Structures are given as C-alpha cells and as structure tokens.
Amino acid sequence: MGVIEGSDFSADRREQADVLVIGSGAGGATVAMRMAEAGKRVIVLERGGYYTGLIDPLDPGRPGRGELDQREDDMLARIDGDRGLGTTGDGQVALTYGNCVGGATVHYWADSYRTPADRLALWESRYGVEGHGEDELRPHFERIEADLGIHPAPDSYLNGCNRLFKRGSEALGWLGEPVPQARRGCVKSGYCMQGCSYNAKQSMLVTYVPRAVRAGALVFADARVEKILAENGRATGAVAVVIDRDTQQPTSRRIEVRAKIVVVAAGGYGSAPLLLRSGLANANGQVGKHLRANPCSMVFGLFDEDVVMWRGIPAGYGCMEWRLARDEKGRYREGGYLLMPNQLGPGALAAFLPGFGAEHRRLMESMPRLASTIAWIDDEEEGEITLARDGSAEYALPVIGRNALMLRDSIKKGAQVLLAAGAREVFLADQVGTRIRDEKDLAKIDSVEIGPGAMSFAAPHPAGGCRMGRDPATSVVGSSGETHEVENLYVADPSVFPTAVSVDPSETILAFSHLLSDRLLEKGVV
C-alpha cells in the first residue's frame, strides 16, 4: 500500500499504531524509518500531497507520475507551505517550508552540514541540552552521510554564479569551502527548489520515506492533523482531516489514529501551532516562543558575460568567514551569517528584482547576466508563533536590533563579493533599487531602508518554537525529545533547537531524530 493519498479515501478510517509520526520531513521520515525497521507498526500523517518526478521513489524501476514538472508556478503551489505565499504578520518575511511527502527536503538545496561544535556547546551550557554533544552525534552524522551520499561539491558542480562567488570571495581573502551536498547522479538541471525530477537530490521523498514504507510503515498524504489526543497526561493519538489537494480545503473524511507514542514532526512552523491547538505541553507558556528562522538577504550583480544562475546546483561553494558575529567593545561590528551564491529561477527572480514597468523589464532582459548572493543570518532577536481567533497560526519575526545590523552587514558583504568578482553594477532588492557601482558606493547601504514595505526577506530555517532544555519552566521538551508535561509526546524537528544552527539545519534535524529513535528503542517504550 505504501503511500495512501486523499483521493484514495471513500470513508473515515480508524487505525492503531505503535508509533504515530506527524510529518514526513527530515525529522518525521527519520523516526518513521528507524521505528519501522525495528519492527514497530508506524503510521505517518502528512498534511501535504505525494508528488513524484520521472522515477517512482517507492519503486525506482518504474516511471513516476511527473508531477515534479520543473515549472516554478506549479511547484510553488504543490510542494511549498501555504502555496509559497505565507508571511509574517507585517508581510515582510516570507515563510519558506514544505507541504508534501518528504517535507522541506523536497525543495531544499541539499546543503548538508554537521552541527558546528560551538553551537552544540552553546546549547549545552546555556540551555541545558544533554546528550547531544559531538561524541553522541558523530555516529549519527556518519550514518546520515553514508545514507544520503553527502560529499563536498566538486568543481564540476559549480555553475556561473558559484564560480563568480568563489572568485570574488577569494579576491577578498575570505575563508570559503565546498558545500557538502546530499546528491547522487546529479544532472545539474537547476530545479532543486522545484523538487528533483530525477531523484538525484537525496530528499526524504527518495530515501527515508521509501525505507519506512518498505519496512511496513503506512504514510497517509493529504492528512492534516487537527488535534493530538491525550488522556491522563499521556498522548494517545491524533485526529486528522483529509484535504482536497486541488482546493487545499478540508473534506468530510477523517482519520483517527491511536498510538502508544506520538511524535510531532510538523516542522519549525507547524509543530508549535499544532500543540497550541491541541492545548498540550504549554502550561508554562513556552510553546511558540523563541522563534528563530535565519531570515536571508539577497544582492544582485550585473556582469558582462552570461551567468544563468538558474542552472546547475544552487550553492557549491560557500563563505564561512562571517558565520559567527564579531563584536567590538561589547557592540556588534560585523558577521553572524552564512554567505553563499544564490539561485533563483526566472519567476522568483522577477519577484525579487527591484523596480516597475520599463525599468523592471530592462533588468529582466539582462537576466542571463545576473549573479546573486544570499546570506542566512544567525538571528538573535526572537520571534513568536501565536494563534489567531480562528485557530490559524500567526508569525512574528523582528527585523530589528542585532538582526537588522546583521542583515545590513550581510548586504554589504554580498555587494563586496560581486564587485570583487567583476560586476559592472550591483543593486539591492529594496523598493528603490539602490545601485552600487564601486567601493565608495558601499556607504549607501548604511542608510538603506530595510523595514516592512521597503525590503523583503525569506526565512527558510525555523527553530525554537518547542525549545529543548533542562528547565521545564523555560523549555517545551527535555533532552529525550519528550515534552515535559505530556508523557509519550515527542517532538522531532527543528523547533526543538534552542537557537538557529548557524548552517543549513537539515543534517542536524536528521541527527537529532536518529538519536531520539535510538533512545526510544533503548527505553523499550514501544
């Protein structure tokens, strides 16, 4: 049976499981696979649809259905949460997350970093996270890297934008390195964010979800969990509504699953709202607090030669020089972000390029000669997830304080890289389309308006809404992954991270979820 889709339902269903997993992204797919391979009856409820490309992920010997069609407009609506239109309440920050079997790994770039040692040490010393140090996670990193074929990007992966980025950062003397990639047999089509049609990007859709299914797990797609069930302080299951995939509206059909253990893996933007709607694990008021999301800035450069940034892989070479913020006399000076080459398809590029009318048209006509940088800031000013009166989630991510300082500095560093690489002109993604033509013009960035309505940012790496920690008064889950307040209710996704990871979080999510699975099996709770 494998994956059961909404269109397969003709009536309500009731199911029993040892382990119920809510979500099928990096965290959920890992737990489902590990539990199923250990012989447990596993059911996965995924609110998004099941989509395939040219090859069937469950049976690589058969052709797929071709829904991963490499069209930006189609794929944004299919695999991105809220059809790619979700934002913070002020409209300034776009919320980037997955809504499909495989979760955000279907549209991620496949960048795969081990958690930096300094970040693990911070989580232990400041937040009381125990048993998640380098020694404990190392065997899980090694297993993940073997499972997903993670390797440093070779030079052959570098497209025009990557090569220009490398040229510019090396000219400035900044520390850089090949970006580790989860890919096998990459054809470098450039449609990574639209879902890999060739099953080359090693997303959960083509790796851990099929393994879970082969081991006996049932995956229900188009199944939006409405409420987690609990009795006498213990989680007992969940109730989901079947979603009509075309309209994204709920149908009259329901799925009720009773389970010994419930693992919430609805993602950094999804798990906290689900707990809040269920009225669980929040007596201390911590669910939805401490949100971080790596809001990212983009800068564009016009070159004399063709770049064609939407071909090849997104980021094969990254700059690590500015990962950690640098202070001077107790005040922020620079850094605090990962600086990378950017990749946008023509549709997204049109949305981010500044200007209107004839001015915008001229930029679009020069599109093949545009290169771009992107910087994910290691945000420190915390946001929050709350519920509106109708039960929908509302998000706040402040672009103020040190967050604003880091964003502004990242814009300046991006402009420097493009100028050093030989850009004829650099322009910002602000409302007025600020132009930078030489080093003297960099001073303009100090006064560029970056508030709501003037500049937009994307936020692809949420963390913190269900923070892990020792103290039940200030955290939602303990180091076991179990919520402090509800027994047998676990969280396995980036919302448990006390802060952002400071690199792409995918491998950290996978490692934490492998570790959680080990401890569940060791305890014999199922």
Render pLDDT for 54-70 as a digit per residue (tens, 0 to 9).
999 999 999 999 999 99
Residue identified by tokens 């964003």 is: 407
Tokens of 170: 């090396």
Among residues 459, 475, 499, the one where a domain terminates is 459
Question: Which among 211, 98, 40 is positioned nearest to 462, based on CA atoms?
Answer: 98
pLDDT at 1 (0 to 100):
61
Q: Tell me the per-residue pLDDT of 182-214, one tens digit each, with 9 for 90 and over.
A: 999 999 999 999 999 999 999 999 999 999 999
Between helices 160-171 and 401-420, what is the axis angle to 10°?
A: 100
Question: Which among 318, 308, 316, 319 is positioned nearest to 349, based on CA atoms?
Answer: 308
Based on the fold, state whether residues 316 and 427 are members of the same structural domain. yes
pLDDT at 352 (0 to 100):
87
The whole-angstrom separation of Cα 410 and Cα 289 is: 26
Based on the fold, state whether residues 366 and 236 are members of the same structural domain. no
Based on the fold, state whether residues 273 and 341 are members of the same structural domain. no
Residue at 439 is within a domain: yes
Domain holding 514: CATH number? 3.50.50.60
Based on the fold, state whether residues 298 and 395 are members of the same structural domain. yes
Q: How many helices and strands (H and E) does the chain possess? A: 11, 23
The pTM of this model reads 0.97
Among residues 436, 459, 482, the one where a domain terminates is 459
**What is the number of structural domains in the chain?**
2
Give DSSP secondary structure letters for 98-127: B-BTTGGGGTS--B--PPPHHHHHHHHHHH
Residue at 76 is within a domain: no
Residue at 251 is within a domain: yes
Beta bridge partners of 372: 300
278 confidence band (pLDDT: 50, 70, 90): very high
Residue at 188 is within a domain: no
Between helices 506-523 and 134-147, what is the axis angle to 10°?
A: 110
Q: Tell me the per-residue pLDDT of 369-396, one tens digit each, with 9 for 90 and over.
A: 999 999 999 999 999 999 999 999 999 9
Residue at 126 is within a domain: yes
- Cα–Cα distances in Å, from 379 out to 67, 115, 302, 323, 399? 35, 16, 29, 11, 9
Window from 86-90, 180-184, 267-271, 353-357 with minimum mean pLDDT: 353-357
pLDDT at 523 (0 to 100):
82
Based on the fold, state whether residues 454 and 481 are members of the same structural domain. no
pLDDT at 230 (0 to 100):
98
What is the average pLDDT score of the chain?
Answer: 96
Q: What is the mean pLDDT of residues 246-255?
A: 94
Cβ atoms of 297 and 411 closer than 8 Å: yes
The whole-angstrom separation of Cα 201 and Cα 16 is: 33
Cβ atoms of 421 and 319 closer than 8 Å: no
Q: Tell me the per-residue pLDDT of 135-178, one tens digit each, with 9 for 90 and over.
A: 999 999 999 999 999 999 999 999 999 999 999 999 999 999 99
The whole-angstrom separation of Cα 431 and Cα 448 is: 10
Cβ atoms of 371 and 160 closer than 8 Å: yes
Based on the fold, state whether residues 413 and 353 are members of the same structural domain. yes
103 confidence band (pLDDT: 50, 70, 90): very high
157 — phi, psi (to 5°)? -80, -15
Compute the chain's Rg from CA coordinates: 22
Residue identified by tokens 């549709």 is: 347
Based on the fold, state whether residues 468 and 455 are members of the same structural domain. no
Based on the fold, state whether residues 345 and 226 are members of the same structural domain. no
Residue at 74 is within a domain: no
- Which residue range(s) make up the domain with 301? 155-180+294-459
**Is 90 exceeded by the pLDDT of residue 126?**
yes
Based on the fold, state whether residues 283 and 299 are members of the same structural domain. no
> 3-class secondary structure for 303-330?
CCCCCCCCCCCCCCEEECCCCCCEEECC
Residue at 186 is within a domain: no
Residue at 197 is within a domain: no
Among residues 440, 459, 478, the one where a domain terminates is 459
Based on the fold, state whether residues 208 and 328 are members of the same structural domain. no
Q: What is the dihedral of CA 124, 129, 130, 133, to 10 degrees?
A: -50
The whole-angstrom separation of Cα 84 and Cα 24 is: 19
Residue identified by tokens 């096998």 is: 184
Tokens of 382: 């915390």
Q: What is the mean pLDDT of residues 270-290?
A: 98
Plot region of 266 (φ>0 → left; ψ -120 to 50 → alpha; else → beta): alpha
Residue identified by tokens 């009381």 is: 128
Tokens of 163: 């090569």
The whole-angstrom separation of Cα 517 and Cα 526 is: 11
- Cα–Cα distances in Å, from 373 out to 87, 273, 298, 411? 22, 33, 6, 9
Number of C-beta neighbours around residue 171 at 10 A? 14
Domain holding 341: CATH number? 3.30.410
Q: Tell me the per-residue pLDDT of 448-470, one tens digit each, with 9 for 90 and over.
A: 999 999 999 999 999 999 999 99
Based on the fold, state whether residues 376 and 469 are members of the same structural domain. no
Percent of the chain with pLDDT over 70: 100
Based on the fold, state whether residues 438 and 495 are members of the same structural domain. no
356 confidence band (pLDDT: 50, 70, 90): confident
